[in-house]
Amino acid sequence: MSVSRLAVVTGGAGFIGSHMVDILLAEGFRVHVIDNLVGGRLDNLAHLQGDSRVQVEVRDILSVEAGDALFSGAEYIFHFAGIGDIVPSIDRPVDYLSTNVQGTVKVLEAARSAGVKKLVYAASSSCYGLASVPTAETALISPEYPYALSKYMGEEAVLHWGKVYRLPVNAIRIFNAYGTRSKTSGAYGAVFGVFLAQKLAGKPFTVVGDGTQTRDFLFVTDVARAFFEVAQKGVPNEIYNLGAGNPQSVNRIVELLKGPVIHLPKRPGEPDCTWADISKIQAATGWKPKVSLEEGVGEMLRNIDYWRQAPVWDPASIREATKTWFAFLEGKNP
């Protein structure tokens, strides 16, 4: 009997990582998962309980070393682990730089020691800052806040290991991923999680600005599939943008979710529009998005109970969570 191929997913109990595990299993891989469960949830993998093809280790990526047994024999590594909440980074820059940069270096060394065929890094489109759109991979890099900086520095480390140590790598700059199993932790974060918890509680949606701002939303299964295709077909040491290439307004989300709205001040450092030029990833892999916004939102509403324990944000709690953000990014004395 042949031994199935092995892949490692860091952050594999998290939002995108758990969907990555599903795709890898469907493609015939065994999967090793590492997750510290700060952002991830074991119930994201509950449907795989008892599946001998999946091994889960609950620990931090900062514990990873060269020669780590979890990575031994791996063909691919998909690196999603890190601190993903954007707003708290303004208060906790050391934590973000430590985990998202040094943690990535630890994973790179484990990958190099294991002799993997490819490491694919979950980079962030936030590295572009307030970019012109549609945004190509050649756009100016201009991180506006510590989260963006930490993810870009992690990306630079990945490409450096590709150049210096000949480790085959790719970095995928994700624009606006959404979908089932997205985070429900206590930090103020992505719009869908905030809105779904508000809907469950019968509270109004807190729309930043006038809601006409647009984001390049891509459903999570499309994100995970793109990572798999890049692992297989991506040109080593290349960067790829990842979005739907079809920006949608926050007002459109509210329309699909159906509910009353309260408007909040627009946040400095955030673009009016994110829009990925996805021609490069499409040319390299043939990948294309399959799930429309309407289909994706419908799937989230069918699974809305997932967000029942998530914090319910209101204008006062959001104002408190973002006060340092406004102070620094508006150039005021905090």
Q: What angle do CA 238, 242, 243 make, to 5 degrees?
A: 160
How much is the pLDDT for 331? 78
Catalytic residue among 96, 121, 128, 147: 147
Q: Going by CATH, does the domain composed of 6-178+217-242 fall within 3.40.50.150?
A: no
Report CA 251 to chain centroid distance, whole Å.
Answer: 23
Among residues 277, 290, 300, 129, the alpha carbon closest in space to that of 216 is found at 277
Output the CA torsion 198→200→204→207 (10° steps): 40
pLDDT by residue for the chain (334 residues), tens digit each? 356 899 999 999 999 999 999 999 999 999 999 999 999 999 999 999 999 999 999 999 999 999 999 999 999 999 999 999 999 999 999 999 999 999 999 999 999 999 999 999 999 999 999 999 999 999 999 999 999 999 999 999 999 999 999 999 999 999 999 999 999 888 888 899 999 999 999 999 999 999 999 999 999 999 999 999 999 999 999 999 999 999 999 999 999 999 999 999 999 999 999 999 999 999 999 999 999 999 999 999 999 999 999 999 999 999 999 999 999 998 755 4
How much is the pLDDT for 1? 37
CB 98 within 8 A of CB 147: no
How much is the pLDDT for 185? 83
How many other C-beta atoms can be found within 10 angstroms of the C-beta atom of residue 263? 14
How much is the pLDDT for 2? 52
Q: Determine the CATH number of domain 191-215+246-273+291-329.
A: 3.90.25.10
How much is the pLDDT for 3? 65
Is-catalytic flag, 147? Answer: yes
How much is the pLDDT for 248? 97
Written as one string, the DSSP assignment of 255-303 is HHH---EEEEPPPTT--SB--B--HHHHHHH-------HHHHHHHHHHT
Q: What residues does each domain of the chain span?
A: 6-178+217-242, 191-215+246-273+291-329
CA distance 281 to 118: 16
Output the CA torsion 108→113→114→115 (10° steps): 90
Among residues 200, 227, 182, the alpha carbon closest in space to that of 39 is found at 182
CA distance 150 to 122: 12
How many other C-beta atoms can be found within 10 angstroms of the C-beta atom of residue 162? 20
